[in-house]
């Protein structure tokens, strides 16, 4: 068991402890030479109604499909990708193996929890490459709590299907699902702390780290690993606090400061509002450069959130995805897919409305919309439904429908997205190279 758990690396964690009064003293924003590139992944569970998803035509001269229709006004900002797949997710069960690996492109270990193993996810590779440059390394969001229990039928802990962001093979990143808590976290991180507060916080962290080091000598080897996890996350917190307390104060200069009055309500009215509020948080975080990396799950693997709030939908998400080729169910399935696409449109428009010098935040972002299945009825990980919104700082050759040979690796997309983000990788998981045509020729 021990050998499976690897030590956590310091992940450039950030935390800034509260204290609103320091906001007033926040340094004036200054303009960086070039706006940074941001990366987000929005994940939709349960796959798509395939015929309604795939656009007609390829290249620049293509027609958006009925499901993608809500993105019509964003067509020049989009890249629709067809025929990519995640080969390492083909075995196992119908959901957990696929959905957990959507951003890692590896095969998760089948376990009820004792020895979870996945890989580092693409968003975290990006986050680590800019660690320390933003107040928060990354933002992990969702709208439904972590699914409880283990799925005894297929033998996986539901922890798997509830996390797509993994900072290393054994560490899924906890998600925040309360929009108000996200806002407060962003706000505190962005506003920084004064030197005195930083000093006091640093002393507290010093104290608990001292306890952890002493305790470490008294416990068994397997418990040491737990304490090492603790040491790792607390130490990176300490580093951040020290940085914030340095003489020059917080080195980060937001272009647009966080507006404390923009805090969302404690309890969203319904699912739709909840999703919008979470997407707002991504937009705010990107605009203020509080983080450059975000992942958001519209639901956990096998999510059965009721979509009866949509006119014409009669059941929960997962139930509908098992349409059994029933015409009514297929129609409902498409309505649910289209609703999710409309949410993507909402976020992209929001980013487009955020000016950033000569460009917009959307110009400097890559927002991946993905599902880990194509046809949910068949649990099919081939021909995944993928759209990227944004221009990645001008690197993405947007405005196209790109189709590839069957069974081209999804990981190639990640290699190219990381490239635009500023990370040159030879290989990511089972990638065979960059994704042809996705980036502009250098």
Give min distance, CB of 6 to another protein, in A. 9
CB of 56 to another protein, least distance (A): 27
Q: Which of 65, 170, 295, 360 binds another protein (CB under 8 A)?
A: 170
- The strand pairing partners of 366, in sequence order, are 39
Residues between 323 and 352 that touch another protein (CB under 8 A): 324-328
Binding residue (CB under 8 A) for another protein from 25, 34, 63, 181? 181
Q: Kindly tell me which residue out of 49, 79, 167, 250 binds another protein, with binding defined by CB under 8 A.
A: 167
Would you call 63 helix, strand, or coil by DSSP?
strand
Minimum distance from residue 279 beta carbon to another protein (Å): 19
Contact region with another protein (CB under 8 A), list: 42-50, 58-66, 253-261, 308-316? 308-316
Q: How far is the CB of 50 from another protein (least distance, A)?
A: 16
Report the residue number, 17 or 54, with the smaller CB distance to another protein: 17
Please, which of residues 196-255 interact with another protein by CB under 8 A? 196, 199-201, 203-205, 207-208, 210-212, 214-215, 218-223, 226-227, 229-230, 232-234, 236-237
Kindly state the helix (H) or strand (E) to which residue 230 belongs, with its residue range: helix 221-245
- Counting every residue, how long is the chain? 442
Q: Which distant-in-sequence residues (6+ apart) come within 8 Å of 135 by Cβ?
A: 14, 16, 189, 190, 192, 250, 252, 290, 291
Quick one: 163 or 352, whose CB is closer to another protein? Answer: 163
Instruction: Give, as ranges, the residues between 391 and 420 that touch another protein (CB under 8 A).
Output: none
As measured in angstroms, the least distance from the Cβ of 73 to another protein is: 33
Of 112, 115, 114, 94, residue with least CA distance to 157: 112
For residue 38, list its beta bridge partners. 365
Contacts of 140 (CB under 8 A, 6+ apart): 163, 165, 173, 174, 175, 176, 294, 295
Contact in structure between 93 and 154 (CB atoms under 8 Å) = yes
Taking CB under 8 A as the binding criterion, the range among 46-54, 57-65, 322-330, 434-442 that sits at the site for another protein is 322-330
CA 327/CA 306 separation, integer angstroms: 19
The answer to whether residue 9 forms part of the interface with another protein (CB under 8 A) is no
Binding to another protein, residues 131-150 (CB under 8 A): 137, 140, 144-150
The reply to whether 87 sits near another protein by the rule CB under 8 A is: no
Q: What x/- string results for residues 25 through 54 when contact with another protein is judged by CB under 8 A?
A: ------------------------------
> How many other CB atoms are found less than 10 A from the CB of residue 196?
11
With beta carbons less than 8 A apart as the criterion, state whether 192 and 26 touch: yes
Per rule CB under 8 A, is residue 4 in the interface with another protein? Answer: yes
Pick the closest to residue 81 from 441, 439, 341, 383 (CA basis). Answer: 383
């Amino acid at each position: 068991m021990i050998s499976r758990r690897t030590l956590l690396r310091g992940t450039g964690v950030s935390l800034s402890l509260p204290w609103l009064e320091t906001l007033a003293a926040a340094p004036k924003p200054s303009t960086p030479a070039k706006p940074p590139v941001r990366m987000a992944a929005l994940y939709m569970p349960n796959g798509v109604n395939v015929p309604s998803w795939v656009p007609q035509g390829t290249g620049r001269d293509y027609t958006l499909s009925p499901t993608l229709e809500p993105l019509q006004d964003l067509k020049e900002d989009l890249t629709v990708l067809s025929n990519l797949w995640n080969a390492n997710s083909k075995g196992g069960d119908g959901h957990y193996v696929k959905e957990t690996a959507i951003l890692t492109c590896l095969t998760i270990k089948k376990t009820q929890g004792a020895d979870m193993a996945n890989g580092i996810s693409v968003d975290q590779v990006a986050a680590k490459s800019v660690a320390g440059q933003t107040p928060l390394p990354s933002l992990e969001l969702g709208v439904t709590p972590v699914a409880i229990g283990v799925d005894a039928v297929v033998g996986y802990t539901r922890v798997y299907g509830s996390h797509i962001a993994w900072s290393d093979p054994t560490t899924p990143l906890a998600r925040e699902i309360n929009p108000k808590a996200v806002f407060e976290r962003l706000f505190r991180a962005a506003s920084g702390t004064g030197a005195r507060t930083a000093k006091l916080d640093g002393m507290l962290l010093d104290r608990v780290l001292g306890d952890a080091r002493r305790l470490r000598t008294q416990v068994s080897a397997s418990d040491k690993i737990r304490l090492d996890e603790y040491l790792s996350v607390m130490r990176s917190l300490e580093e951040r606090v020290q940085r914030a307390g340095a003489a020059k104060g917080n080195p980060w200069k937001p272009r647009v400061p966080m507006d404390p009055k923009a805090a969302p309500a404690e309890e969203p009215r319904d699912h739709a509002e909840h999703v919008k509020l979470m997407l707002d948080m991504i937009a705010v975080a990107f605009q203020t450069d509080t983080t450059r990396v975000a992942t958001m799950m519209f639901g956990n693997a096998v999510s059965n959130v009721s979509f009866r709030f949509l006119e014409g939908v009669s059941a929960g998400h997962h139930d509908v995805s098992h349409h059994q080729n029933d015409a009514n169910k297929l129609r409902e399935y498409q309505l649910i897919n289209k609703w999710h696409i409309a949410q993507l449109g909402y976020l992209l428009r929001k980013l487009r409305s955020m000016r950033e010098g000569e460009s917009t935040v959307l110009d400097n972002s890559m927002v991946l919309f993905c599902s880990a299945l194509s046809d949910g009825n068949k649990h099919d990980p081939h021909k995944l439904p993928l759209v990227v919104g944004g221009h990645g700082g001008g690197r993405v050759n947007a405005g196209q429908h790109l189709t590839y040979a069957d069974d081209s690796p999804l990981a190639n997309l990640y290699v190219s997205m990381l490239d635009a983000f500023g990370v040159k990788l030879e290989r990511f998981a089972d990638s065979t190279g960059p994704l042809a045509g996705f980036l502009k020729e250098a």
